[in-house]
Amino acid sequence: MGEANRVNFYGLSLLELEEYLLRHDFKKFHAGQIFEWVYQKRMIDPEHMTNLSKCLRTFLNDTFSFSLLEIQTIHESEDQTKKYLFKLEDGHLIESVLMRHDYGNSVCVTSQVGCNMGCAFCASGLAKKVRNLSLEELVGQVVAIGTNEQIRVSHVVVMGTGEPFDNYEAIVRFIALINHDKGLAIGQRHITVSTAGIVPKIMAYANEPIRSNLAISLHAPNDQLRTRLMPINKSYPIRKILEATDYYFSKTSRRVTFEYVLLKGVNDQKEHIDQLAKLMKGRNAYVNVIPYNVVKEFAFLPTDNAQAMIFVDGLMKQGIQATLRKEQGSDIAAACGQLRRRWDSKNPDDCD
């Protein structure tokens, strides 16, 4: 069977693989063995899966594709952050980011080719959404980076290009697969999904069995300003988002993170501190204050570090848990809001 006609292994859950094997007269327990070979031992050649019968190894070799995403370029930051540019089978390009921390290796995963959110400060929305990524393309980002670097990926953040909850079904399947103990075995508390605030999907996510971290891209403390910065606020204003996150907390008992990018003179003043503190008051919430990374197409400027610390301290003095995020990879346009499917190192700001 040609490569194009094979089933992509990374697009199957354990249950789906069990059912597939049963339909072809194999035992379902073999699915767990195969998952362990591929996800935990990084073995993608069935001939070396020594606890499987010769017949099953031949079947796997003839039926499944274990090919990893095609790496186009890798850019490395001064802080050892790496940005991967992957080429998909249809020729589209996506970016993923590897961040190294004291507590482990984290991969920032892209959920869509392009993005339709249109946030006024974010490079990712410059190229509009083309399509959602499939399960195998989501999983493939993590597996390809882990394999290429020969490391264990211990944390995943779905914060790359795209709106994860606009690709809801694939994201839920992705999280379940990378969390599975026979899959990549990444702990639920080591997985974070960030959304611009699609309220019905936040409500749905609260009822999923998975208990990953949830982050909300807020970026403004009032509707007038947030609508200016994030058009999605017209459909899902702050009040609706807070109602949804309150519901999420009631169902999961998990604290919600609110992300807040500081834009000089726009959302970083004393009145913004007070308005944001009022929104957060009484909620089991955490504010992740993020330095802005300049995008040449936009006029926004970053808040200076002194004012950023005043912003964080102002929240904390009002009883709101907040920290200033340490940015990584800004020198290679791999930091928050900078991903744009760069493809040519000689023209690093071009989109495909």
Region for residue 308 given its phi and psi (left: phi exceeds 0; alpha: psi -120 to 50; beta: otherwise): alpha
Do the strands 93-101 and 285-291 form a parallel or antiparallel pair, or are they unpaired? Answer: unpaired
Specify the fold of 3-65: DNA polymerase; domain 1 (1.10.150)
pLDDT averaged over 10-residue windows placed end to end, the chain, 352 residues = 78 98 97 97 95 97 96 91 95 95 95 95 86 98 97 96 97 98 96 98 96 96 98 98 98 96 97 98 95 87 95 98 76 49 45 40
Give span(s): CATH 1.10.150.530, the chain: 3-65
Q: Which fold has domain 70-332?
A: TIM Barrel (3.20.20)
Q: What per-residue confidence (pLDDT) applies to 335?
A: 46
Long-range contacts of 243-247 (CB under 8 A, 24+ apart): 243/199, 244/197, 244/199, 244/202, 244/203, 244/206, 245/202, 245/214, 245/216, 245/283, 245/285, 246/283, 247/202, 247/203, 247/206
pLDDT at 3: 63
Choose the catalytic residue: 18, 95, 136, 259.
95
Whether 287 and 246 have beta carbons less than 8 Å apart is answered as no
pLDDT at residue 336, as a whole number:
53
Asked if 339 and 110 touch (Cβ cutoff 8 Å), the reply is: yes
CA contacts within 13 A on the Cβ side of 108: 26
Position 26 scores a pLDDT of: 97
What pLDDT was estimated at residue 325? 83
Q: Is 136 helix (H, G, I), strand (E, B) or coil?
A: helix
**Cα radius of gyration (the chain):** 21
Residue 95 is a catalytic residue: yes
Domain with CATH 3.20.20.70 in the chain: 70-332
Residue 263 per-residue DSSP state: B
Catalytic residue among 108, 115, 119, 336: 336
Residues 6+ apart with CB under 8 A from 311: 262, 268, 272, 273, 289, 303
